Amino acid sequence: MTEPSFSVCVYCGSKPGTDPAFTQAAIQLGTWIGQHGGQLVYGGGRNGLMGIVADATMAAGGRVIGVIPRALVEKEWAHTGCTELHVVETMHERKQMMAEKADAFVALPGGIGTFEEFYEVWTWRQLGYHNKPIGLLNVNHYYEPMLSFLKSVVQHEFMGEWQMDLIQSHDDLSVLLPSLVQAAGLPIKFQSQAI
Ligand code: AMP
């Protein structure tokens, strides 16, 4: 396997959710990463959208790095089929390693774990701890209520537009992913192989 040309950290639900569009998006995202010479970094589980995106990446020929805390190995059903599986001691170590191994971040639909991870890398970026692009894949309007709330946060002047500008949101991964990878200044191989 050749060296991946970019590495995307994906945050997503440890459950599949109710809308089949979420599963479809996880498959498309993993396929896109694999087909474009990329690497997936994720939480290392087999459950829910997490397992789906990992399997799709590997099926498309991509590398997958999973990072899972020891205490969650059984609960999240650690994916021993990953190209690399790192078992770490704490959730903080997991999130730190995932962030270090990624060139860009993207959140699919998920629950509080997904939100926490997404907001953490966003807040780290606003503080200047990193300058890696962050995307929100708004599958079937899932994140619409959150985006509306965030707009009201700006209106209430608890944050500025510049902070909103630190994330990119789109409903189409074939727009969002190239934009994130290019913003990270990295090459995308096989660009003609659209999915
Ligand atoms: P969820 O979106 O709630 O299904 O969780 C998705 C992933 O986020 C799971 O692998 C969780 O272990 C992980 N996660 C990361 N940070 C946290 C946290 N502080 N609380 C709960 N889950 C978390």
Residues 6 or more apart whose CB falls under 8 angstroms from that of 19 comprise: 109, 139, 140, 142
- C-alpha of residue 113 to centroid of ligand 1, in Å: 3
Quickly state the pLDDT bin for 35 (edges 50, 70, 90): very high
pLDDT at residue number 189: 76
- Mean local confidence (pLDDT), 4-25: 97
Mean pLDDT of 148-165: 98
Indicate whether 135 pLDDT > 60: yes
Give the Å distance between the CA of 18 and the centre of ligand 1: 18
| For range 42-58, the mean pLDDT | 98
Q: At residue 195, does pLDDT exceed 60?
A: no
Contact, 13 vs 46, CB < 8 A? no
Residue 193 is predicted with a pLDDT of: 45
Answer whether 15 contacts ligand 1 (Cβ < 6 A). Answer: yes
- Region 2-13: mean pLDDT is 93
Q: For residue 192, what pLDDT band results from cuts at 50, 70 and 90?
A: very low
| Closest ligand 1 atom number to CA of residue 114 | 2
Instruction: Note the pLDDT of residue 71.
Output: 96
Choosing from 112, 115, 124, 142 the residue with most ligand 1 atoms within 8 A of its CB, the one to mutate for a pocket test is: 112
- Burial class from Cβ neighbours inside 10 Å (0-12, 13-18, 19+) for residue 185 reads exposed
Name residue 38's beta-bridge partners: 6
In terms of Cβ atoms closer than 10 Å to its own Cβ (0-12, 13-18, 19+), residue 17 is buried
Q: 190 C-alpha vs ligand 1 centroid, how far in Å? A: 33
What pLDDT, on a 0 to 100 scale, did the predictor assign at position 1?
56
d(CA 114, CA 84): 21
Q: What pLDDT score does 169 carry?
A: 98
Ligand 1, residue 15: give the atom nearest the CA. 4
Mean pLDDT of 140-154: 98
Average pLDDT estimate for 28-54: 97
pLDDT tens digit sequence for 168-179 = 999 999 999 999
What pLDDT, in 10s, does the model give residues 106-128? 999 999 999 999 999 999 999 99
User: Which residue ranges form the domains of the chain, and what is each CATH number?
Assistant: 6-182 (3.40.50.450)
Averaged pLDDT of the chain: 95
Q: What is the pLDDT of residue 130?
A: 97
pLDDT of residue 180: 97
**Which of 51, 62, 91 has the alpha carbon at shortest distance from 177?**
62
Average confidence (pLDDT) over 134-158: 98
